[in-house]
Structure 1
Amino acid sequence: MLKEGDFVHIEVDLRGLHLPFGTLAVAINSEPAETVFDDIALSSSMHMMPVVCMGGDGSRVRVCPAC
């Protein structure tokens, strides 16, 4: 169960390096990440709009290079 002070790590990988789709994974504190979605379309005509919903003091977004 989440409690105040916990860290929620959300990772969205849209590179398509190992799968033909993008993935979304979530981890709490130092627990291993759990894949929530592994079928995010990468070649859709619809635009993807990223949104950070649980913002607040101490929130951050990090964009990693596609290596």
Structure 2
Amino acid sequence: MRKEDTVKLISTEGFEFFVYKEAAMVSQTIHNMLTSPGSFAERQHDEVTFLEISTTILEKIC
């Protein structure tokens, strides 16, 4: 898994999950966060922090 092929998803507790970017982009929400003009931090670092999604839920999603 190469770094440029992945995106980091971070739960509200700070746990990090690395998933293939192609798989993450299936989610319209994540796609919008990584591609919209107002999401500079997400695009620059290829990471998305979910302030309202717990580790337990994010782990099931990943």
* TM norm structure 1: 0.27
**Which one has a larger percent helix, Structure 1 or Structure 2?**
2
The structure with more radius of gyration = 1
* TM norm structure 2: 0.28
